[in-house]
């Protein structure tokens, strides 16, 4: 995003966005729609109102307003930008917080009638409210059927019959297509992160067969050489199209023995970290003298300084309340499946990686979308998604699940 600074602000001091801290805590997250509208407003109008900034005795800078604008700017311009500001003097943080009331005009009594009269001439009231961050209680929920239809159309997954019909630039879509075919049409660095889990090459050990569930099935019994080659191609393509990270959930099975070591050796230079999913309820093995498989690997391949485990592109902070506690050992149960599809992961998995290792407004790819869990997680966490699923019945199930979720106002069906 290119941000033009209004000429009327020339002469004011400037401060780099990466030096700014929020003084207001617990700000609501922007929805995907509001994020897009606020971004469009900034792109169209530029930066026309200065920030109000308070400096503590140590020189740390805190913004007293404009936090939602800053969220969008920091996401769209990760390297930062210098913005004009007006310094607000205050004796301490408590005194600075009181100045918020002066800036947002809340020492006087605000009434619903007064707010309606004040905002009647503002065309894009939602963006205006998100920039102020203080008057959300006064906005009447308005359901515009045309706008609702456009939102549904935007999120409604696309069905394609050939590679020529696939539009890789379209966000919020689930495409019924082979993943390698779709990936071949995508540009380098066209998504922010990838969260996915490929087939495990379970062969005859599959429980998820068409005669039992009605779900389409496919041959999941490649030779070792073919399977290793398939996984190799997938990882390389996912690395190519991703800007930052690829989170790749995989388990070694009898028909894929050696795949873990192959991945670790082949992609050692790109392997930033390894997450372990420790299962609280591992599936019982089919053989009586076989230990249950109680864990799976989630490899993180990255372009973000893969030689170190420290993440630059992320949204967690081990020193910040509410954003700490991120570990590479994940202790969670196995999913029960969805809609007759037995090979799914629970929403905690995409939630964990999307929340902590991407930022609001990011584009997330799941190359093996399955029943749409990653798509639901993206919607809930204010990210965009794109997914591939080669089985028509499963793709249709994912499409319906997403649309049902939207129609139910964000409630799981």
pLDDT tens digit string along 64-123? 666 678 888 888 998 899 999 888 888 887 777 766 655 554 444 445 555 555 455 555
- Which bin fits 337, alpha (ψ -120 to 50), beta or left (φ > 0)? left
User: Average pLDDT of 343-364?
Assistant: 90
Phi, psi of 368 (to 5 degrees): -130, 75
The span from the first CA to the last CA of the chain, in angstroms, equals 36
For residue 143, being part of any structural domain is answered with no
What CA–CA distances, in Å, run from 117 to 27, 114, 131, 238, 295? 26, 5, 19, 52, 60
Q: Same structural domain for residues 251 and 351?
A: yes
Kindly report the CATH number assigned to the domain that includes residue 164.
3.40.50.150
Q: Between these two residues, 75 and 261, which has the higher pLDDT value?
A: 261
How many CA atoms lie less than 13 Å away from 342 in the CB half-sphere? 12
Looking at the structure, tell me whether residues 171 and 276 fall in a common domain. Answer: yes
Question: Do 119 and 220 sit in the same domain of this protein?
Answer: no
d(CA 311, CA 317): 10
- Distance between CA 259 and CA 115 in Å, rounded? 62
Q: Is the pLDDT of residue 354 over 80?
A: yes
235 shares a domain with 269: yes
Domain ranges, residue 67: 7-138
Q: What's the pTM?
A: 0.61
d(CA 247, CA 249): 7
CATH code: domain of residue 43: 3.90.1530.10
User: Are the C-beta atoms of residues 393 and 338 closer than 8 Å to each other?
Assistant: no
Q: What is the mean pLDDT of residues 377-390?
A: 93
Residue 135 has pLDDT above 50, yes or no: no
Mean pLDDT, range 336-357, rounded to an integer: 76
82 and 13 part of one domain = yes
Q: Of the residues 138, 165, 192, which one is the last residue of a structural domain?
A: 138
Q: Residue 334 in 3-state DSSP?
A: coil
Question: What is the separation of C-alpha 210 from the centre of its chain, rounded to a whole number of angstroms?
Answer: 32
- Same domain, yes or no: 74 and 162: no
* Mean pLDDT score across all residues of the chain: 80
Say if residue 339's pLDDT is above 60: no
The mean pLDDT of 183-202, rounded to a whole number, is: 94
Beta pairing partners, 278: 295, 331
Give dist(CA 378, CA 385) in Å, integer.
6
pLDDT mean over 126-153: 46
* Residue 246: how many other CB atoms lie within 10 Å: 27
Contacts of 79 (CB under 8 A, 6+ apart): none
Q: How many CA atoms lie within 13 A of 86 on its CB side?
A: 12
Residue 14's SS3 state is strand
Domain contains 299: yes
The answer as to whether 209 is a domain residue is yes
Residues 132 and 178 in one domain: no
For residue 319, count other CB atoms closer than 10 A to its CB: 6
């Amino acid at each position: 995003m290119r941000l033009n600074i209004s000429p009327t602000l020339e002469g004011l001091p400037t401060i780099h966005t990466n030096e700014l801290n929020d003084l207001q805590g617990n700000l609501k997250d922007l929805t995907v729609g509001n994020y897009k509208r606020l971004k469009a407003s900034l792109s169209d109008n530029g930066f026309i109102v200065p920030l109000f900034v308070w400096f503590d005795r140590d020189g740390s800078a805190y913004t007293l307003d404009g936090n939602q604008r800053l969220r969008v700017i920091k996401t769209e311009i990760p390297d930062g930008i210098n913005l004009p500001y007006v310094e607000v003097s205050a004796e301490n943080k408590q005194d600075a917080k009181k100045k918020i009331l002066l800036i947002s005009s809340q020492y006087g009594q605000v009434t619903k009638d007064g707010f309606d009269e004040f905002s009647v001439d503002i065309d894009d009231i939602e963006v205006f409210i998100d920039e102020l961050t203080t008057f959300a209680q006064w906005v009447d929920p308005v359901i515009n059927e045309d706008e609702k239809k456009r939102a549904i159309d935007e999120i409604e997954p696309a069905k394609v019959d050939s590679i020529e019909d696939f539009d890789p630039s379209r966000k919020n879509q689930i495409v019924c297509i082979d993943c390698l075919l779709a990936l071949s049409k995508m540009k380098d660095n066209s998504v922010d992160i990838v969260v996915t889990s490929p087939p495990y090459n379970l062969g005859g050990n599959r429980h998820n067969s068409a005669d039992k569930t009605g779900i389409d099935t496919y041959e999941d019994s490649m030779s070792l050489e073919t399977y290793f080659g398939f996984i190799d191609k997938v990882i390389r393509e996912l690395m190519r199209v991703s800007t930052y990270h690829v989170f790749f959930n995989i388990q070694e099975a009898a028909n894929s023995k050696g795949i873990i070591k192959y991945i670790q050796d082949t992609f050692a230079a790109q392997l930033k970290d390894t997450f372990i999913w420790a299962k609280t309820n591992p599936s019982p093995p089919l053989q009586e003298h076989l230990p249950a498989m109680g864990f799976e690997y989630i490899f993180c391949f990255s372009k973000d300084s893969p030689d170190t485990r420290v993440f630059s592109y992320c949204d967690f902070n081990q020193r910040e309340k509410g954003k700490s506690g991120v570990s590479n050992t994940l202790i969670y149960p196995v999913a029960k499946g969805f809609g007759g599809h037995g090979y799914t992961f629970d929403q905690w998995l995409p939630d964990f990686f999307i929340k902590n290792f991407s930022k609001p407004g990011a584009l997330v790819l799941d190359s093996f979308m399955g029943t749409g869990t990653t798509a639901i997680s993206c919607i809930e966490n204010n990210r965009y998604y794109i997914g591939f699923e080669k089985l028509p019945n499963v793709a249709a199930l994912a499409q319906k699940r997403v649309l049902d979720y939207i129609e139910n106002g964000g409630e799981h069906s």
